[in-house]
Chains A and B, each alone.
Chain A
Amino acid sequence: MSFSRRALLSVDWRLLAAAAGLAALGVLIIYSTSGMHASLLRRSLYLKQATWMVIGLFAMALLCLFPYRTTWHIAYLFYGVLLAALLLVALLGRTGMGAQRWLSIGSFAIQPSEFMKLSLILLLARYFEDRREQLNAPRVFIVPILLTLLPAALVLRQPDLGTAIMLLLISASILIMMGLKIRWFVLLGAVGSAITPVLWHYLHDYQKNRILVFLYPDMDPMGAGYHVAQSKIAVGSGGLIGKGWMAATQSQLNFLPENHTDFVFAGLAEQGGFFGSLCLLLIYAYLLSRGLRLARDAHDLFTMVTSFGIVSMFAWQVVINIGMVTGIMPVVGIPLPLLSYGGSSMLMNMLAIGLLLSIQKSRYQY
Chain B
Amino acid sequence: MSREREFSNYFAPFQKRIRVAAVVISAAILILVLRLWALQILEGDHLLQLSLNNRLRLRPVEAPRGLILDRNGQLMVENLASFDLYATPEDMPDVEEVTRRLADILQSSPDELRQRVSQRQGSQLDAVLLRKGVDGRIVTAVEEQKIDLPGVSLQVRPVRTYPNGGSAATLLGYVAEVSQAQLKSKEFRDFRSGETMGQAGIERRYDAFVRGVDGGEQIEVDALGRVSRLIQQVEPQSGFNLHLTLDNRLQRVAEEALQGKSGALIAVHPSTGEILAMVSQPSYDPNQFSQHLTPEQWRKLAADPHHPMQNKGLQGQYAPGSIFKLVTALAALEKGAITPETTFACDGTFSLGSHLFHDWKKGGHGTLNLRQAIANSCNIYFYNTALKAGIGEITRVARELGLGAPSGLGLGSEARGVIPPKTTGSPEAGGWYPGNTVMAGIGQGMVTVTPIQAVMMVSAIANGGTLYRPWVVRKVETLDRELIEEYGPELVRKVNIDPDNLAIVREGMQAVVNEGTGSRAKIPGLRVAGKTGTAQVVENSGSQRGDKRDHAWFVAFAPADNPQIAIAVVVEHGGFGGQVAAPIAKSLLEAWFQLPREPASVEVAAPAAAEGD
Instruction: List A residues at the B interface (Cβ < 8 Å).
Output: 36-41, 97-100, 103-104, 173, 176-179, 205, 209, 218-223, 225-226, 229-230, 232-240, 249-250, 253-255, 269, 273-274, 277-278, 281, 284-285, 288-289, 292, 295-296, 298-299, 301, 304, 308, 311-312, 315, 318-319, 322-323, 326, 328
Chain B, Cβ-Cβ closest to A101: B208
Q: How far is the CA of A240 from the CA of B26 in the complex (A)?
A: 22
Query: B51 and A292: CB pair below 8 A?
Result: no
Query: A281 and B33: CB pair below 8 A?
Result: yes
Q: Mark B108-131, 1 if CB is under 8 A from A, else 0.
A: 000000000000011111100000
Query: B184 and A99: CB pair below 8 A?
Result: no
Q: How far is the CA of A236 from the CA of B208 in the complex (A)?
A: 39
Asked if B29 lies at the interface with its beta carbon under 8 angstroms from chain A, I say yes
Query: B56 and A229: CB pair below 8 A?
Result: yes
Q: Name the B residues within 8 Å of A296 (CB-CB).
A: 15, 18-19
Query: A40 and B25: CB pair below 8 A?
Result: no
Query: B186 and A41: CB pair below 8 A?
Result: yes
If A232-B47, A237-B44 touch, does A98 touch B39 (CB 8 Å cutoff)? no
Query: A322 and B32: CB pair below 8 A?
Result: yes
Q: How far is the CA of A197 from the CA of B125 in the complex (A)?
A: 42
Q: How far is the CA of A230 from the CA of B26 in the complex (A)?
A: 28
Asked if B22 lies at the interface with its beta carbon under 8 angstroms from chain A, I say yes
Q: How far is the CA of A315 from the CA of B21 in the complex (A)?
A: 10
Query: B37 and A225: CB pair below 8 A?
Result: no
Query: B35 and A326: CB pair below 8 A?
Result: yes
Query: A240 and B44: CB pair below 8 A?
Result: yes
Query: B36 and A239: CB pair below 8 A?
Result: no
If A220-B234, A296-B15 touch, does A274 touch B36 (CB 8 Å cutoff)? yes
Query: B54 and A233: CB pair below 8 A?
Result: yes
**How far does the Cβ of A86 sit from chain B's closest Cβ, in whole Å?**
23
Surface stretch bound by A, among B214-222, B302-310, B313-321, B343-351: B214-222
Q: How far is the CA of A254 from the CA of B124 in the complex (A)?
A: 8
**How far does the Cβ of B203 sit from chain A's closest Cβ, in whole Å?**
15
If A36-B124, A236-B43, A237-B48 touch, does A312 touch B33 (CB 8 Å cutoff)? no
Asked if B604 lies at the interface with its beta carbon under 8 angstroms from chain A, I say no
Given A223-B232, A239-B45, 6 more A-B residue pairs with CB atoms under 8 Å apart are A99-B208, A226-B56, A254-B122, A273-B40, A277-B36, A299-B7
What 7 A-B pairs come out closest when comparing CB atoms? A236-B47, A38-B122, A254-B123, A237-B51, A239-B44, A274-B40, A236-B39
Surface stretch bound by A, among B154-162, B478-486, B550-558: B478-486
Q: Name the A residues within 8 Å of B190 (CB-CB).
A: 103-104
Contact of A41 among B18, B58, B184, B211 (CB under 8 A): B184
Q: Interface residues of B toward A: which range?
A: 35 or more
Interface-centre pick from B7, B39, B234 (highest chain A CB count, 10 A): B39
Chain A, Cβ-Cβ closest to B478: A205
| Interface majority SS (helix, strand, loop, mixed), chain A | helix
Asked if B542 lies at the interface with its beta carbon under 8 angstroms from chain A, I say no
Query: A319 and B29: CB pair below 8 A?
Result: yes
Asked if B46 lies at the interface with its beta carbon under 8 angstroms from chain A, I say yes
Query: A232 and B39: CB pair below 8 A?
Result: yes
A-B contact pairs, 26 of them (CB 8 A): A37-B122, A37-B123, A38-B121, A38-B122, A98-B485, A99-B208, A99-B476, A219-B234, A220-B234, A221-B234, A223-B216, A223-B234, A230-B54, A230-B56, A233-B51, A238-B44, A240-B44, A249-B51, A254-B126, A274-B44, A281-B32, A292-B22, A296-B19, A304-B18, A319-B25, A328-B31
Instruction: List B residues at the A interface (Cβ < 8 Å).
Output: 7, 11, 13-15, 17-19, 21-22, 25-26, 28-29, 31-33, 35-37, 39-41, 43-48, 50-52, 54, 56, 58, 60, 121-126, 183-184, 186, 189-190, 193, 208-209, 211, 213-216, 218, 232, 234, 236-237, 240, 476, 478, 482, 484-485
Chain A, Cβ-Cβ closest to B19: A296
Q: Name the B residues within 8 Å of A103 (CB-CB).
A: 190, 208, 211, 213
Q: Name the A residues within 8 Å of B17 (CB-CB).
A: 176-177, 179
Query: B184 and A40: CB pair below 8 A?
Result: yes
Q: How far is the CA of A326 from the CA of B234 in the complex (A)?
A: 23
Chain A, Cβ-Cβ closest to B123: A254
**How far does the Cβ of A337 sit from chain B's closest Cβ, in whole Å?**
14
Q: How far is the CA of A319 from the CA of B47 in the complex (A)?
A: 23
Query: A233 and B50: CB pair below 8 A?
Result: yes
Q: Name the B residues within 8 Å of A37 (CB-CB).
A: 122-123
Q: How far is the CA of A189 from the CA of B40 in the complex (A)?
A: 37
Q: Name the A residues within 8 Å of B52 (CB-CB).
A: 237
Query: A177 and B482: CB pair below 8 A?
Result: no
**How far does the Cβ of A272 sit from chain B's closest Cβ, in whole Å?**
10
Query: B18 and A97: CB pair below 8 A?
Result: no
**How far does the Cβ of B4 sit from chain A's closest Cβ, in whole Å?**
11
Contact of B18 among A100, A104, A295, A315 (CB under 8 A): A295
Query: B189 and A41: CB pair below 8 A?
Result: yes
Query: B29 and A285: CB pair below 8 A?
Result: yes
Q: Name the B residues within 8 Å of A209 (CB-CB).
A: 237
Query: B51 and A250: CB pair below 8 A?
Result: yes
Contact of B125 among A237, A254, A269, A278 (CB under 8 A): A254
Q: Name the B residues within 8 Å of A254 (CB-CB).
A: 122-123, 125-126
Query: B46 and A315: CB pair below 8 A?
Result: no
Q: Name the B residues within 8 Å of A229 (CB-CB).
A: 56
**How far does the Cβ of A209 sit from chain B's closest Cβ, in whole Å?**
8
Q: How far is the CA of A237 from the CA of B216 in the complex (A)?
A: 26
Q: Name the A residues within 8 Å of B13 (CB-CB).
A: 179
Q: How far is the CA of A225 from the CA of B28 in the complex (A)?
A: 23
Contact of A319 among B11, B22, B32, B476 (CB under 8 A): B32
Q: Name the B residues within 8 Å of A219 (CB-CB).
A: 234
Contact of A238 among B21, B29, B37, B40 (CB under 8 A): B40
**How far does the Cβ of A297 sit from chain B's closest Cβ, in whole Å?**
9
Q: Name the A residues within 8 Å of B218 (CB-CB).
A: 223, 225-226
Q: How far is the CA of A218 from the CA of B231 in the complex (A)?
A: 11
Q: How far is the CA of A285 from the CA of B29 in the complex (A)?
A: 8
Q: Name the B residues within 8 Å of A39 (CB-CB).
A: 183-184, 189
Q: How far is the CA of A326 from the CA of B122 in the complex (A)?
A: 27
Query: A253 and B123: CB pair below 8 A?
Result: yes
**How far does the Cβ of B366 sit from chain A's closest Cβ, in whole Å?**
59
Query: B25 and A288: CB pair below 8 A?
Result: yes
Q: How far is the CA of A49 from the CA of B45 in the complex (A)?
A: 33
Q: Name the B residues within 8 Å of A311 (CB-CB).
A: 21, 25
Query: A221 and B214: CB pair below 8 A?
Result: yes
Q: How far is the CA of A140 from the CA of B383 in the complex (A)?
A: 85
Q: Name the A residues within 8 Å of B19 (CB-CB).
A: 296
Q: How far is the CA of A236 from the CA of B186 in the complex (A)?
A: 34
**How far does the Cβ of B310 sit from chain A's closest Cβ, in whole Å?**
26
If A315-B25, A319-B29 touch, does A239 touch B40 (CB 8 Å cutoff)? yes
If A235-B40, A237-B47, A285-B29 touch, does A98 touch B484 (CB 8 Å cutoff)? yes
Q: How far is the CA of A212 from the CA of B238 in the complex (A)?
A: 17
Chain A, Cβ-Cβ closest to B25: A315
Contact of A253 among B40, B124, B236 (CB under 8 A): B124
Query: A177 and B216: CB pair below 8 A?
Result: no
Chain B, Cβ-Cβ closest to A270: B51
**How far does the Cβ of B209 sit from chain A's closest Cβ, in whole Å?**
5
Q: Name the A residues within 8 Å of B208 (CB-CB).
A: 97, 99-100, 103-104
If A238-B40, A295-B18, A304-B14 touch, does A225 touch B482 (CB 8 Å cutoff)? no
Contact of A236 among B48, B58, B121, B236 (CB under 8 A): B48
Q: How far is the CA of A299 from the CA of B26 in the complex (A)?
A: 25
Query: B35 and A323: CB pair below 8 A?
Result: yes
**How far does the Cβ of B423 sit from chain A's closest Cβ, in whole Å?**
39
Interface-centre pick from B15, B29, B41, B193 (highest chain A CB count, 10 A): B29
Chain A, Cβ-Cβ closest to B61: A221
If A177-B18, A177-B21 touch, does A234 touch B51 (CB 8 Å cutoff)? yes
Chain A, Cβ-Cβ closest to B17: A177
Contact of A269 among B36, B234, B484 (CB under 8 A): B36
Query: B18 and A221: CB pair below 8 A?
Result: no
Q: How far is the CA of A41 from the CA of B191 in the complex (A)?
A: 12
Query: B193 and A239: CB pair below 8 A?
Result: no
Contact of B240 among A99, A255, A273, A285 (CB under 8 A): A99
